[in-house]
């Protein structure tokens, strides 16, 4: 996208570039590039998280008084874009983008003082306990129950597809505290420590062989009533606030554009079978150009949302548009990569990680080694955080007024 930045914005961009040049190590770049899982591995992601924390740049989307950067929407955009273009690892969204903003918006001063500094520093790793067997799209039907006993909530039930629960110190969970009222009105938002006898975590391996998601079982698990965010029964409004941030709070476009750039380079090196390179084939170039144009259009929508957030407004249902488009463009990039690589991509290495000293030698190029894993893992992008159909329902109702 061609943008006219002010001279202050250009100075800021240069500052970010200089910072990235001095702090983004080859190990981090390599780790980010060769991690084909959906979510960045904690060793790579948290190393980068701590570097940004020391710089004061880890939570650009938080209010300044809670530890945010106080950047303008344009500065946030520049930062995201420069990080993506430089190949920096994506940070885990669970603390910084999901529960962090909830605590900033709905937490008491005591809750803010207790939880926010440890999210910022990376001392606490979080997971998200929303989905349950039978309650995914229809989240409000969730059954995991919590009853107040003395000063504690006692929790029973289970959560499913819980990303990185096996790494987490805390889970933020939606629980049913009242089964007698309308289903949305009986839900409460609790913060629950993971390290306790009442919680067990069982891995769910994905079809690529990665272990990212889990089932989490609560059997008389406990958390102090002081760890309830908002009032009893307010959990549904808080859940919706969080989902809007999950769907649109982060920028998809810069990373999509970075992947498209890499694909364009790859196309220049893959023979077409009829003399030249695939990058010169007009049909392939047409498909690449379409995907680039859509990613650039998405970038403009994301800028508009950032501007809304800067005015103190909730991101709103247009985040569903971003989630829908961003995840679909990402999957088209994965498909184009497989097509470009042809039979070279027909491999599914099961060793992990694919970076660092213990990593297996790639068979063929690095792109060939990771393309299939990435393709398979990224099928989940149009499911998690609300499936495509659910996003379309939201757009139909709240944006189009149908």
| 121 touching ligand FAD, by CB under 6 A | no
Catalytic residue, from 80, 82, 212, 246: name it: 246
From the list 65-73, 111-119, 129-137, 359-367, the region that binds ligand FAD by CB under 6 A is: 129-137
Among 131, 144, 319, 370, binds ligand FAD (CB under 6 A): 131
| 238 touching ligand FAD, by CB under 6 A | no
236: nearest Cα among 170, 279, 276, 178: 178
Beta-carbon contacts of residue 122 (< 8 Å; ≥ 6 apart) = 46, 49, 50, 53, 58
Q: Is the dihedral of CA 204, 210, 211, 212 positive or negative?
A: negative
Angle at the Cα of 272 (from 292 to 254), degrees rounded to 5? 20
From the list 22-30, 108-116, 123-131, 255-263, the region that binds ligand FAD by CB under 6 A is: 123-131
Within 144-250, where are the H helices? 235-248
| 386 touching ligand FAD, by CB under 6 A | yes
Contact 190, 172 (CB under 8 A): yes
Parallel, antiparallel or unpaired: strands 126-129 and 187-193: unpaired
Residues in contact with ligand FAD, shown as a per-residue x/- string from 209 to 228 under the rule CB under 6 A: ----x---------------
Among 200, 272, 335, 393, binds ligand FAD (CB under 6 A): 393
Burial class (CB in 10 A: 0-12, 13-18, 19+), 374: buried
Torsion angle (degrees, nearest 10) of CA 59, 63, 68, 73: 80
Contact 233, 176 (CB under 8 A): no
For 337, other C-beta atoms within 10 Å of its C-beta total 22
Shortest Å distance, C-beta 247 to ligand FAD = 11
| 387 touching ligand FAD, by CB under 6 A | yes
| 105 touching ligand FAD, by CB under 6 A | no
Count of residues of this chain found to bind ligand FAD when the rule CB under 6 A is applied? 21
From the list 155-163, 230-238, 254-262, 272-280, the region that binds ligand FAD by CB under 6 A is: 155-163
| 191 touching ligand FAD, by CB under 6 A | no
| 157 touching ligand FAD, by CB under 6 A | no
Shortest Å distance, C-beta 203 to ligand FAD = 13
Contact 105, 61 (CB under 8 A): no
Place of tokens 């039930």: 157
Burial class (CB in 10 A: 0-12, 13-18, 19+), 400: exposed
Residues in contact with ligand FAD, shown as a per-residue x/- string from 35 to 54 under the rule CB under 6 A: ---x----------------
| 137 touching ligand FAD, by CB under 6 A | yes
Please, which residue, 1 or 399, has the CB nearer to ligand FAD? 399
The separation between the first and the last C-alpha atoms of the chain, rounded to the nearest angstrom, is 32
Shortest Å distance, C-beta 243 to ligand FAD = 9
Annotated active-site residue 246? The verdict is yes
Shortest Å distance, C-beta 276 to ligand FAD = 39
| 95 touching ligand FAD, by CB under 6 A | no
Shortest Å distance, C-beta 392 to ligand FAD = 8
Q: HSE of 304 in the Cβ direction (CA atoms, 13 Å)?
A: 12
Among 75, 128, 258, 318, binds ligand FAD (CB under 6 A): 128
| 136 touching ligand FAD, by CB under 6 A | yes
Question: Per residue in 160-172, is it b (16+ CB within 10 Å) or e — as a string?
Answer: bbbbbbbbbebbb
Contact 166, 202 (CB under 8 A): no
From the list 111-119, 144-152, 338-346, 379-387, the region that binds ligand FAD by CB under 6 A is: 379-387
Q: Which residues belong to the active site? A: 246
Give the footprint of ligand FAD on this chain (CB under 6 A): 38, 127-131, 136-137, 161-163, 213, 380, 383-387, 389-390, 393
């Amino acid at each position: 996208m061609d943008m006219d930045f002010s001279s202050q914005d250009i100075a800021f961009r240069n500052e970010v570039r200089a910072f990235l040049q001095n702090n983004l190590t080859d190990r981090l770049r390599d780790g980010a590039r060769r991690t084909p899982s959906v979510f960045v591995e904690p060793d790579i992601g948290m190393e980068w998280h701590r570097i940004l924390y020391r710089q004061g740049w880890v939570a650009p989307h938080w209010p300044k008084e809670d530890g945010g950067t106080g950047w303008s929407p344009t500065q946030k955009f520049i930062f995201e874009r420069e990080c993506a273009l430089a190949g920096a690892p994506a940070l885990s969204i669970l603390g910084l983008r999901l529960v962090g903003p909830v605590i900033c918006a709905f937490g008491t001063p005591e809750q803010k003082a207790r939880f926010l500094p440890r999210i910022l520093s990376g001392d606490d790793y979080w997971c998200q306990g929303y989905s349950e067997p039978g309650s995914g799209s229809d989240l409000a039907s969730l059954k995991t129950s919590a009853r107040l006993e003395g000063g504690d909530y006692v929790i029973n039930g289970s959560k499913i597809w819980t990303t990185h629960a096996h790494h987490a110190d805390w889970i933020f969970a939606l629980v049913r505290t009242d089964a007698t009222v309308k289903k949305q009105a009986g839900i409460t938002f609790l913060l629950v420590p993971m390290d306790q006898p009442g919680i067990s975590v069982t891995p769910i391996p994905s079809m690529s062989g990665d272990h990212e998601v889990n089932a989490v079982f609560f059997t008389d698990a406990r958390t102090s009533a002081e760890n309830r965010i908002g009032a009893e029964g307010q959990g549904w409004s808080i859940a919706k606030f969080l989902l809007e941030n999950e769907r649109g709070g982060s920028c998809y476009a810069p990373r999509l554009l970075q992947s498209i750039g890499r694909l364009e380079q790859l196309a220049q090196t893959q023979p077409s079978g009829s003399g030249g390179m695939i990058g010169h084939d007009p049909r392939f170039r047409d498909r690449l150009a379409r995907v680039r144009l859509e990613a650039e259009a998405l970038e403009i929508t994301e800028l508009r949302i950032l501007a809304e957030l800067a005015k103190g407004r909730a991101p709103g249902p247009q985040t569903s548009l971003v989630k829908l488009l961003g995840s679909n463009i990402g999957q088209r990039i994965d498909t184009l990569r497989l097509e470009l690589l042809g039979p070279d991509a027909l491999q599914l290495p099961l060793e992990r990680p694919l970076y660092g000293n213990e990593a297996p030698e790639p068979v063929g190029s690095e792109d060939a080694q990771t393309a299939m894993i990435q393709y398979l893992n990224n099928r989940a992008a149009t499911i998690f955080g609300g499936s495509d159909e659910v996003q379309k329902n939201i757009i139909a109702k709240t944006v189009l007024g149908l």
